[in-house]
């Protein structure tokens, strides 16, 4: 159903399968089964997760998977009720996204360009050009990492000035590409065949053996790039660059609705989280630089 009716990505389906499987294992350990679970069984399971120290957000995700599963069973007539309907999920705070400063992104891009300049040999040159194109595109477009690595070559349109992106739920959007990212992409394309290998053809913009570059592999090479740029590897990821794209645009006066469309957010409230980052920065500026921000300065000003 997730695949055929909702157009969910394969990794989304795998996430649902994994979460539901964990509950099935819990049920089996009690001599019960997945389909027959009642509300009390779900409450006990959530209590166990809390006891084990599982993060509230992870527990909420597992509960969400169970809700979808039991609603499906009820809709298909396989159950008369939905045992998850009365379950309250764990209370969640809404954490602000982790981002990089504009200076840190500049460091990352500079390290990627140095990699291109210093690369020797066809394979290393191809890898360096690909990495620069990936980072430039991610920061220039704010794509989800899955959208980027799964981008078909034919979806690079209008002379590399735009990308046709298929996002969540199969919804398509056109995302503009800035000049530096378009230049990095043009520099990478002659090396694309190196990554296709013996197959001789690939529909993917970023091919790899047997398919396209994986999210996991991209995250690995991005962390290596972060280290070479003098940045903490644990603070750099493809998703952090997506956050940086959105927050930096808004900081420079971009329209919230335009950023929402480029990010592919269905609800503008999801995009508004980035305005909270800006609010936090403004408060920090006042706290650190306003002459009346602390008692000492106030006393000094009064005297």
Which residues are annotated as catalytic? 144, 168, 239, 242, 265, 274
> Do residues 142 and 242 touch, judged by C-beta distance below 8 A?
yes
Collapsed DSSP state (helix, strand, coil) of residue 83:
coil
Q: Which residues touch 67 (CB under 8 Å, ≥6 apart)?
A: 82, 84, 87
- Residues forming beta bridges with residue 163, ordered by sequence position: 156, 175
> What span, in angstroms and rounded, lies between the C-alpha atoms of 297 and 106?
35
Q: How far apart are CA 230 and CA 107, in angstroms?
A: 8
CB 171 within 8 A of CB 95: no
Residue 275: strand, helix, or coil: helix
- Whether the CB-CB separation of 191 and 129 falls below 8 Å is answered with yes
Q: Which of 111, 100, 245 is nearest to 178 (CA)?
A: 245
How many C-beta atoms surround the C-beta of residue 9 within 10 A? 20
Q: What is the DSSP string of 205-256?
A: SSEETTEE--HHHHHHHHHHHHHHTTS-GGG--HHHHHHHHHHHHHHTT--H
Instruction: Give the C-alpha separation, 300 to 58, whole Å.
Output: 49
100: alpha, beta or left, given left = phi > 0 and alpha = psi -120 to 50? beta
């Amino acid at each position: 159903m997730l695949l055929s009716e909702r157009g969910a990505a394969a990794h989304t389906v795998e996430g649902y399968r994994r979460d539901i499987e964990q509950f099935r294992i819990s049920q089996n350990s009690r001599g019960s089964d997945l389909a027959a679970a009642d509300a009390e069984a779900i409450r006990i399971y959530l209590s166990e997760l809390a006891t084990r120290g599982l993060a509230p957000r992870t527990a909420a995700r597992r509960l969400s998977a169970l809700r979808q599963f039991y609603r499906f069973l009820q809709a298909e007539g396989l159950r008369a009720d939905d045992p998850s309907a009365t379950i309250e999920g764990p209370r969640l705070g809404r954490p602000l996204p982790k981002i990089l400063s504009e200076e840190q992104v500049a460091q990352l891009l500079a390290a990627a360009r140095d990699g291109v300049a210093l690369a020797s040999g066809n394979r290393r040159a191809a890898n360096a050009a690909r990495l620069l194109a990936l980072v430039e595109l991610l920061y220039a477009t704010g794509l989800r990492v899955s959208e980027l690595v799964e981008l078909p070559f034919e979806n690079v349109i209008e002379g590399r000035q735009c990308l046709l992106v298929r996002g969540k739920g199969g919804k398509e959007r056109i995302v503009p590409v800035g000049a530096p990212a378009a230049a990095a992409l043009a520099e990478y394309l002659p090396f694309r065949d190196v990554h296709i290998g013996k197959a001789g053809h690939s529909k993917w913009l970023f091919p790899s053996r047997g398919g396209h570059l994986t999210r996991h592999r991209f995250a690995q090479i991005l962390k290596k790039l972060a280290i070479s740029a003098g940045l903490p590897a644990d603070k750099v990821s493809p998703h952090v660059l997506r956050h940086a794209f959105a927050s930096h645009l808004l900081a420079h006066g971009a329209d919230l609705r335009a950023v929402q469309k480029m990010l592919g957010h269905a609800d503008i409230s999801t995009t508004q989280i980035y305005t909270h980052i800006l609010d936090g920065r403004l408060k920090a500026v006042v706290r650190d630089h306003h002459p009346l921000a602390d008692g000492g300065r106030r006393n000094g000003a009064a005297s």
